[in-house]
Every structure is written in C-alpha cells, then in structure tokens.
C-alpha cells in the first residue's frame, strides 16, 4: 500500500478541536466503506439500544458500534468470528477511532457450525433433546397451529397440502422468520398456543435459505420453548439437508413445511383404505364367530323333560344314600363317645380307691421309719447346746438336753 503524501504544512498550528475534526474528516474520507474480519469481545448493549463491542485478532483491536435498528440475523456472542462491514470514523471526545457497523455476518459456515455444535452440546446436557420427552402426534387433529410468516411460501404450502389431504382448521400465529426479532417471535408463538390450548398440534415452519437465515431456529429461546411445549410440536424448517436445533427439541422433525403438513394429517384415501381394511377384519371376525356359534349349537343334544326329571331323581337318590351313610357314621361315633362318658364314674371310683390305698401305705412306711418308735423302745437322744446330736463319748461335748419318748430333759 502506497504511503499518502502529507497535506498539512509543518508550521500550521491547529486547535485541539480543529485537529480532531481534520483527523475525523481524513479517516471518514479515506474509509467510507471497509470490511474487517475478527473475533467479537466485550459486547455490551446500552439502554438506548445501541451495541458497543470490540473486534480483534492476535495483533490489534478496533472498537465497533452497531446503532439501534441495524438488522442482525443472529445473536452476537463473545468469541464469535465475524465479518463486519461499515465505515471508519473517530470519536474526538476520547481520541480514538472506531467502525460504525452497517452489516455483520459470521465468518464462514465453519464458524456457524462450530457455534451451533457448542450450543447443541450445552442444551443436550440439560436433557432438552431426550427421547423420553417426545410426545406422540395426534392421529386426527381438529385444529392445527402454525407459527410462521403469513406472507411466506411455507404457510401457503402447508395450507394447500392440508386442504388436499384432510381439511382441518388452521390457526396462524404470524411471526418473522428471519432477522433479530425472529427467534423471540417464534418462541412467543409456541408459548401462545400452549397458553390458549386452542390447537391439537403445532407446526413451526420456514422455507429454505442460507444457513445464516435459518439461525433464529437454533436460538436457545426457540429451542427451550419447543422443548417445554405441552402440545405436540412438529419442526418443518428449511429443506431436507438443513438441521436446526429446534429439530432436536421438537416431537417430530419434518424435512420441509410441506412434509410437516403431510405428517400432521393423513390423506382421505388412506383413511378410506384404513376403514375398508377395518371393516373387512371386523366382518371376517364376525363371520368366523357366527360360524363357530352355529357349530356349537348343532352339537348340542337336547334331552326330553322326562329323561331330565329321571336323571334329577336318580341324583336325589344318590344324595340320599350318601347322607344315610354319613349320618349313620356320625351317630355311631356319638354313641361310642356317650358310652365312654357313662363309664367315667366307675373309672373315677377305682382311681380314688387306688390313691387312698397308696396314701395308707405311705403313712405306714413313714410311721415305721420314724425315730419316735426307737425312743419308745427305751432309747434317748443327747444334744449339745447347739441342738446337734452327740453320738459318741469321744465327741468331747457337754450335753445340754436329753430327748425321751415322752419328752425332753434339759441339763444345766
């Protein structure tokens, strides 16, 4: 790049304001439009709605401003690699230069896919994509809610296909499907249907487009709204190869908006065929059951009333004989028990006599073994002062009492 020639005379003296204004004019004239690639950092949004940030690389950093109302196709995040288009200018109050951003885009598909993959892993870790969260789609919905642009081809395709297959009542929640407000409007549409509970199934749809244009359907606010929906939700965004993060959170992913309409309702012809098949199965089953019942009826042999009466009389005779046997055995057992009870007094008398004889015998044995009989024959018992018996002269004890058969003599 050729170095420009100086146009300020060395002996010219400027005021600070004049010098700043001159520098501002030079910069803005030299760089009316410039494209810069770098990494975003220090992103802040002022209360005025303007956004301030820094775009940097390994060697330098430049301040950048996005005025309120500047269209954005994706959410800005620190560390995101982008290409910004704008004009360079200066800010005399702080003596720095900055770029006023008119357009901003991601720096290639690789950067977008890297961001989406990181966001996908984060949301998957929270369980938003779990298969257990998926809800079954209604077989024949009466009302279908659609969240999409009212002027886009996607809504027309959905209406046409529903009308062709199986007309149902369609309720549209109008939402922009591209730009900075798209994600918030789509999420608001999903939440509206869940609050109103006026539809049986929800379709979130958008036609095809560049990857950057489809990014609103991968914003966290949209994915979380889809995962939290209590009403079954179908994602029909883009074309077959396009996969947005809402596809993983939805209960069913359709390749296109038209495919979403085909998924939500069956065709009239398929319903008629299903009904015909059901009728044939029911008819065949009924015919088979009727034939089986007729066969069973034919195999039944009806007996005459007299024969049936005689059989019942025979059964009564059998029961009577059985009762006689049972009652006879019961009476015999009762008679035996009665005889045993009547013999009980004789048994008791014999037992008492035996016990009296035993007591008398024991009394005689006790009397014969008593030491009193020995004393009656002239013997005596000598005891010491502790009432111990003195049995020999060698005991060397002083007798204290002598017991005879008729009493005790104390020795002092």
Q: Which of 84-98, 175-189, 316-330 has the highest mean pLDDT?
A: 175-189
Q: Which of 139-153, 300-314, 330-344 has the highest mean pLDDT?
A: 139-153
Residues 324 and 397 occupy one common structural domain: no
pLDDT for 330 equals 87
Q: Are 73 and 178 in contact (CB under 8 A)?
A: yes
pLDDT for 382 equals 82
Residues 133 and 264 occupy one common structural domain: yes
pLDDT for 251 equals 94
Asked whether residue 278 is domain-assigned, the answer is no
pLDDT for 283 equals 80
Cα–Cα distance, 354 to 343 (Å, whole number): 17
Asked whether residue 248 is domain-assigned, the answer is yes
Q: Is the pLDDT of residue 1 over 90?
A: no
Kindly report which listed range (55-69, 102-116, 219-233, 240-254) carries the lowest average pLDDT score.
102-116
Q: What percent of the chain is modeled with pLDDT above 70?
A: 94
Cα–Cα distance, 257 to 263 (Å, whole number): 10
Residues 173 and 90 occupy one common structural domain: no
Q: In this predicted model, what pLDDT tens digit does every residue of 197-210 receive, in sequence order? A: 999 999 999 988 87
Residues 318 and 376 occupy one common structural domain: no
Q: In this predicted model, what pLDDT tens digit does every residue of 360-403 receive, in sequence order? A: 888 878 777 777 777 777 788 888 878 788 877 776 777 778 88
pLDDT for 14 equals 77
Q: Is the pLDDT of residue 64 over 80?
A: yes
Among 217, 246, 268, give the residue marking a domain's end. 268
Residues 321 and 216 occupy one common structural domain: no
Average pLDDT of the segment spanning 9-33: 78
Helix, strand, coil shares of the chain as percentages rounded to 5?
Answer: 45, 20, 35
pLDDT for 201 equals 95
Mean pLDDT in the chain?
A: 84
Residues 134 and 230 occupy one common structural domain: yes
Q: Are 273 and 173 in contact (CB under 8 A)?
A: no
Residues 22 and 51 occupy one common structural domain: yes
Is the full-model pTM beyond 0.85? no
pLDDT for 3 equals 61
Q: Is the pLDDT of residue 192 over 60?
A: yes
Asked whether residue 120 is domain-assigned, the answer is no
The token duo for 126 is 């929270």
Q: What percent of the chain is modeled with pLDDT above 90?
A: 27
Structural domain that includes position 375: 371-410
Q: In this predicted model, what pLDDT tens digit does every residue of 102-128 receive, in sequence order? A: 988 777 666 777 778 888 899 999 999
Q: Are 170 and 231 in contact (CB under 8 A)?
A: no
Cα–Cα distance, 409 to 386 (Å, whole number): 15
Residues 397 and 357 occupy one common structural domain: no
Specify the higher pLDDT residue, 245 or 369. Answer: 245
Residue 81 pairs in a beta bridge with 39
Q: Is the pLDDT of residue 302 over 70?
A: no
pLDDT for 6 equals 66
DSSP secondary structure code for residue 131 in this structure: G
Q: Are 126 and 245 in contact (CB under 8 A)?
A: no
Average pLDDT of the segment spanning 237-257: 88
Residues 69 and 200 occupy one common structural domain: no
Secondary structure (3-state) at 14: coil
Residues 144 and 249 occupy one common structural domain: yes
Q: Is the pLDDT of residue 28 over 80?
A: no
Number of structural domains in the chain: 4
Secondary structure (3-state) at 42: strand
* pLDDT tier for residue 194 given thresholds of 50, 70 and 90: very high
* pLDDT tier for residue 252 given thresholds of 50, 70 and 90: very high
């Amino acid at each position: 790049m050729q170095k420009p020639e100086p146009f300020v005379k060395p002996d010219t003296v400027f005021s600070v304001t004049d010098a700043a204004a001159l520098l501002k004019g030079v910069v803005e004239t030299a760089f009316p439009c410039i494209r810069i690639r770098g990494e975003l950092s220090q992103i802040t949004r002022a209360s005025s709605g303007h956004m301030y940030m820094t775009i940097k690389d390994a060697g330098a950093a430049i301040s950048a401003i996005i005025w309120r109302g500047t269209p954005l196709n994706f959410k800005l995040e620190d560390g995101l690699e982008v290409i910004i288009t704008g004009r360079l200018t200066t800010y005399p109050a702080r003596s720095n230069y900055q770029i006023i951003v008119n357009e901003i885009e991601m720096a290639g598909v690789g950067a977008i896919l890297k961001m989406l993959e990181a966001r996908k892993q984060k949301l998957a870790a929270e369980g938003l994509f779990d298969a257990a969260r998926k809800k079954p789609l209604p077989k024949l919905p009466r009302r279908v809610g659609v969240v999409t642009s009212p002027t886009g081809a996607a809504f027309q395709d959905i209406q046409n296909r529903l009308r062709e297959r199986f007309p149902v009542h369609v309720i549209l929640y109008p939402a922009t499907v591209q730009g900075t407000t798209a994600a918030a409007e789509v999420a608001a549409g999903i939440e509206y249907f869940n609050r109103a509970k006026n539809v049986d199934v929800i379709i979130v749809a958008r036609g095809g487009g560049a990857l950057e244009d489809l990014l609103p359907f991968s914003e966290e606010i949209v994915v979380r709204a889809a995962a939290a929906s209590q009403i079954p939700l179908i994602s029909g965004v883009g074309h077959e190869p396009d996969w947005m993060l809402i596809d993983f959170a939805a209960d069913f992913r359709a390749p296109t908006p038209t495919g979403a309409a085909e998924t939500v309702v069956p065709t009239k012809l398929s319903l008629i065929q299903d009904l015909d098949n059901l009728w044939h199965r029911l008819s065949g089953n009924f015919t088979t059951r009727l034939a089986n019942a007729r066969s069973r009826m034919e195999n039944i042999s009806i007996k005459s009333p007299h024969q049936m009466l005689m059989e019942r009389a025979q059964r009564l005779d059998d029961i009577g004989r059985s009762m006689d046997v049972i009652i006879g055995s019961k009476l015999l057992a009762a008679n035996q028990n009665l005889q045993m009870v009547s013999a009980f007094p004789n048994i008791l008398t014999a037992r008492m006599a035996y016990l009296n004889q035993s007591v008398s015998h024991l009394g005689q044995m006790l009397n014969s073994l008593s030491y009193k009989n020995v004393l009656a024959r002239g013997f005596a018992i000598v005891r010491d002062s502790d009432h111990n018996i003195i049995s020999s002269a060698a005991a060397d004890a002083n007798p204290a009492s002598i017991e005879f058969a008729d009493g005790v003599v104390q020795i002092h």
